[in-house]
Each structure stands twice: as structure tokens, then as C-alpha cells.
Amino acid sequence: MSSRVPVLLSSSSVFPEPTAAAFEMAATVGYDGLEVMVWTDAVSQDAGALKGLAEHYDVPVLSVHAPCLLVTQRVWSPDPWERLNRAAQLAESLGAPTVVVHPPFTWQRDYAKNFAAGLAKVQARHPDLTFAIENMFPVKMAGRWFVPYTPGWDPTETGFDAYTLDLSHCAAARIDSMEMAAKMGAALRHVHLGDGTGEARDEHLVPGRGTQPCAELLRSLVADGFTGSVACEINTRKAASRAVREADLRESLEFARRHLAESAVSKA
């Protein structure tokens, strides 16, 4: 792999196809590596299976997304600390430097109350990993907005050592991703590249198909000395075929590489 910012494929981008298919498509399209979304697919939870796939397809796992979604609340354990610990162990075993973590849900009261202190303890046990807290978004239900996260959807309001910037979440929160990147500052360590139009939902469009400044954000990363990784996290669940899905994945990769390269050229 070159010194360029690595562009990863999030395994969630191939849903409803399984994790194994993400390795195959990442290799076919030419991604630098994979971000494994740990979810109900048993392969996504299994270090041995993931190592085998990474070796077979020559696609390294370079980030692990801890099971923080509503549908993954019982993956490994109903205890969120156990899930985070297991995600850290999985990342270490795979040689992945980054673990993506969501802020606690409001109903996870004990977890939320002790989140910062508990995260520091997990970090101390895994000093070589980066735990990058992801920006989320408010949710609209029955015509009303509410925030399902504690203390909020914007982790910079609390302050953490490392962040994941999700551009689709910025769109859903109706904020500019450049503004969020500025708030994250030097603690920005990982990016989820997708797009959105400002709808009250998480769209995860192919970058360039929404209204977020995806190209500007990518160009700013290299200009600012970004040393993390970019994971393309798009929604292809309505793709009519594998070929259509791969075309969207290829377009996303080419978009990322083009604008990261433009920044590198201008910096040189």
C-alpha cells in the first residue's frame, strides 16, 4: 500500500449481501482494505473467518465498527461494555488500528453515565488502538425531533481523543461536514464517506449525489495532514444486481481517490 490515505470499503455497503461478499467486491473494485461492520452475520464476529477472507482476497481489515446499532444490541452480549471490549480484541487480532464507536443511546443509562471513564479504561488496555467516536444525528418521528443519544448526537460537545466523521450523518443533522470536521480538529482520525440531501434520515448516498461538500472535505484532509483512513459507507441495498452494486462501489472509490489525489498534488 502506498503512503496515500487508504480508502476502505465498509462491509455495510454491500448489505444485504454478507460480510464475505464485501471482501470479494473490495478486491474486485480495488479498495485498499475493509472496515468490518460487526453485526448479526456470524462471519463479521469471527476473527478466524475474517483473517481467512483477508488473506484469500488480499484485502486487510483496517477498521472495525463496534456493534452499536439497534439491530446489534445482542451481538456477543447485551452488555455494551462487553461488546466494545470484544470489538477491541477483534481489531487487535486483525491488525486493524481503528475501532469506530457510537455515542451511547439514551436508554443505556449506566453505560452513558460512565462512557468517558469506561472508554479511557478500554483505551488503556488497548493502547495501540484508536477508538474514534462517530457523530450521529437527531431523529424525526411523528413530526417531532428527538435525540436518541446521551449526552447528544455531536460527540465534540463532550470531547474525546478521536473522532469518526460521517458525512451522511451530517446531512441528516442538517449541518455542513466541513463545520463538523473543524470542530473535530486534529482529533479527526477516520471518515465515513457517503452523501445526503438533508432528508430526516440517514441516506448514505454515493458521494457526489447529495449536497454535502464531499469533494471539499476530502481535499482538505490531505491539506491538513490527515493520517487516518476513509471508509466508503454507502447504501446499495436497492441495487438490482451485483454489477449495479459494484458500479456504485467503484464510483465511490474513484471519487475518493480523485479528490484525495487532487489535494496531494496541490499540496506538492
The reported pLDDT for the residue numbered 73 is: 84
pLDDT of residue 262: 75
pLDDT at 263: 55
Q: Output the pLDDT for position 2.
A: 46
* pTM of the predicted protein model: 0.94
- Cα separation, 82 vs 211, in Å, equals 38
Query: pLDDT per position in the chain (268 positions), as tens?
Result: 445 899 999 999 999 999 999 999 999 999 999 999 999 999 999 999 999 999 999 999 999 999 988 788 888 889 999 999 999 999 999 999 999 999 999 999 999 999 999 999 999 999 999 999 999 999 888 778 889 999 999 999 999 999 999 999 999 999 999 999 999 999 999 999 999 998 878 899 999 999 999 999 999 999 999 999 999 999 999 999 999 999 999 999 999 999 999 755 555 4
Instruction: Identify the pLDDT of residue 74.
Output: 84
pLDDT value of residue 1: 40
Residue bearing cell 474525546? 160
Q: Is the dihedral of CA 115, 116, 121, 126 positive or negative?
A: positive
Number of other residues whose CB lies within 10 A of the CB of residue 134: 20
The Cα–Cα gap between 240 and 237 comes to: 9
